[in-house]
Structure 1
Amino acid sequence: MNKMIPTESLQDYYQRTGQAVPKELLPVAGGASHFSVRYTTAPTRKTPFNRRDYYKICLSSASGRGTGSLIYDDQEIQLHPPCLIFTHPSVPASIEISFTSASRYGCIFNKQFIESQILPDVQYASPLFNPALYPIVKLTEEERDRLHVYFGEMQRLQESDYPFKWDMIRNILQLIIHEGVRLQQSQLSQTGVVRDRLVNAFYTLLNQQFPVDSPETSLKLLTPAHFADQLHVHVNHLNSVVKKYSGKSTRTIIHERIVTEAKALLRNTSWNIAEIAYALGFEYPSHFNKYFKQFASVAPMEFRQQQAAVAGNI
């Protein structure tokens, strides 16, 4: 039996939405870069709750009567447009918008398109690349109108014959990502982008372990000491710097990420508890049960049953 977690590819996305698969995504293309932006006014049905192998940014300008929600890992977030929505590929997500006026832009792109374009410091500060951050950025009408121009210009370039259009689109896309960081930080009264390379390197190393795709392999970096060894620093120094910039201990951040992944596996796979325990680095299922209950307040099997009951009522 195949135990891999299904992840929607760009090819899957185009087939699911009834569009032709672009030629650069065909197998013979060998993993070429891809970008696409679309404008729509139609309400969307609830999209599949899954992970993806691509990035997505939505600008929702919906108004009037209706509802909108984003299911993002363990959160159900009510949408109050206008807003920007950033979804990280490794986080299972589903979106539903049913406003009477549901205009929105959406752009999707793969790692090859944006690779090496975004500084590590900015990646740490953006929910598009850092799954620990809140995925929604609220907008004023003025901010929405400005971003609407950016998305519209990307669409015009996409449809043009200009030979360097993809470079221009990358520049505008970076501008949108920076706008998201700037606006979110101002709304949350956060400090500026973290400039400490050790903190950024720690989060990069942590996020590289996820998503867990198979019960056949096990997480290797489970403690602050494991990360300190990889980063070639003393564990006390790592703990001190991470605490200074995040307000949390290194151990707490690691625990939160492992529990988040455990919940995703319990909700989205048919793996048994022993398989999930092994995949997350636990030698014995009993250790995983105790660990999960400590942070989630319920046992893994009880959590799975609760999520199944909720899904059955949707």
Structure 2
Amino acid sequence: MSKPESLEDFYRNKFDQVPANLQKDTGHFNVFRVEDCFHKKVSPPVYARRDFYKFSLHRGETIYHYADKSIRVSGTALMFFNPRVPYTVEILSEQKSGYFCIFKEAFFTENIRGSIRDLPMFAPGGKPSYVLNEQQDQHVSQIFEKMLEEIDSDYRFKNDLIRNYVTEMVHYALKIEPSETLHQHNDANSRITAVFNELLDRQFPIESPGQRLAMRSAKDFADQLSVHVNHLNRAIKETTGKTTTGHITERIVSEAKALLKHTNWNISEISYCLGFEEPSHFNNFFRKQADLTPTAFRLY
């Protein structure tokens, strides 16, 4: 799976240019009308992670591929996408209308209690899809129009006002019962397996003694993918014939062997990098998998 789409990638694909101040704008925010983004031939949307948040309102026939799910919507839907979960959007209607906004987490760092990633629609297993009736569509559309009006204004505190509008949209959505119609795909297990493999591979190689694995268990990966661990385990097993833990173990053992052979780091440093609390735990793990202690393998 490809690397996450960056804001630079987004602007190049949609508009053939990147805003001059994008690199300096760590709290970047922008808002668009959907119809303004189809003025030229663009590459088909790719099922991948992005390194920014996106809220979108689409009207018509749409399929949202999100984590291991495909959500089919006829009408208007408000969707919340986050950097931890891969997604793509298929717009099936000829008439393309709606809105979306994109932003980095830093845009909200000091303005939302806790973290934006803790909001219910971004929590592991949370429902990102909110189907709107005509009245709700009008209300959310008005919020987007207010953001569009402010984004180009000279108002000194416009970002504070825009944050308030986005927060209003979040709370308006939370008052609506999330609804989703799952559109079954034969490749759902393959999709979640591919995402799991991408998350696993992204942790390697270990390039410095200070680097440490963040995800070492099936539950760690399930939380990142916003799915139940049993669902992840079943999908991985059905697709590959091996368990989730087996894949993780093989990758850790492979990296351990590379570090033992190609670095001069001591056993404690390698143990730390691979996420073990104590060198003795790493020794026992490696001996069980490789039939040699780490020290013996290094000398072998």
TM-score by length of 1: 0.58
- Which residue of the other structure, out of 162, 165, 170, is the alignment partner of 1:177? 170
One-letter amino acid matched to 2:247: A
- The structural deviation recorded for 1:81 is 2.2
**Counterpart residue number, 1:20:** 17
**Counterpart residue number, 2:78:** 84
**Counterpart residue number, 2:277:** none
How many residues of Structure 1 are paired with residues of Structure 2 in the alignment?
218
Contact 2:30/2:151, CA 8 A, preserved across alignment: yes
Cα distance in 1 between the residues matched to 2:21 and 2:217? 38
**Structure 1 unaligned runs (5+)?**
189-209, 227-252, 267-272, 285-314
Question: 1:17-72 deviations in whole A, cap 9, x for unaligned?
Answer: 1342122323xx2x62100100133796741111011000101133xxxx421111
Counterparts of 1:1-314 in structure 2 under 5 Å? 5-26=2-23, 29=24, 32-41=26-35, 46-62=44-60, 67-120=61-114, 123-127=117-121, 129-184=122-177, 211-212=199-200, 213-216=202-205, 218-219=213-214, 222=217, 255-256=229-230, 259=233, 277-278=247-248
Contact 1:277/1:283, CA 8 A, preserved across alignment: no
Go from structure 1 to structure 2 and tell me whether the alpha carbon gap of 1:106 and 1:279 turns closer, same or farther (over 3 Å shift). farther
Go from structure 1 to structure 2 and tell me whether the alpha carbon gap of 1:254 and 1:95 turns closer, same or farther (over 3 Å shift). closer
Go from structure 1 to structure 2 and tell me whether the alpha carbon gap of 1:214 and 1:5 turns closer, same or farther (over 3 Å shift). farther
Cα distance in 2 between the residues matched to 1:275 and 1:216? 19
Go from structure 1 to structure 2 and tell me whether the alpha carbon gap of 1:56 and 1:122 turns closer, same or farther (over 3 Å shift). closer
- The structural deviation recorded for 1:260 is 9.5
Contact 2:236/2:244, CA 8 A, preserved across alignment: no
Go from structure 1 to structure 2 and tell me whether the alpha carbon gap of 1:279 and 1:151 turns closer, same or farther (over 3 Å shift). farther
Q: Provide the secondary structure at the position in 1 that maps to 2:159.
A: helix
Contact 1:124/1:130, CA 8 A, preserved across alignment: yes
- The structural deviation recorded for 1:150 is 0.2
TM-score by length of 2: 0.61
Computing the radius of gyration over CA atoms, which structure comes out larger, 1 or 2? 2
Go from structure 1 to structure 2 and tell me whether the alpha carbon gap of 1:211 and 1:112 turns closer, same or farther (over 3 Å shift). farther
- The structural deviation recorded for 1:178 is 1.4
**Counterpart residue number, 1:240:** none
Go from structure 1 to structure 2 and tell me whether the alpha carbon gap of 1:279 and 1:149 turns closer, same or farther (over 3 Å shift). farther
Q: CA RMSD of the aligned region, Å? A: 3.9
Go from structure 1 to structure 2 and tell me whether the alpha carbon gap of 1:276 and 1:97 turns closer, same or farther (over 3 Å shift). farther
**Counterpart residue number, 1:231:** none
- The structural deviation recorded for 1:162 is 1.1
Go from structure 1 to structure 2 and tell me whether the alpha carbon gap of 1:220 and 1:61 turns closer, same or farther (over 3 Å shift). closer
Cα distance in 2 between the residues matched to 1:58 and 1:73? 17
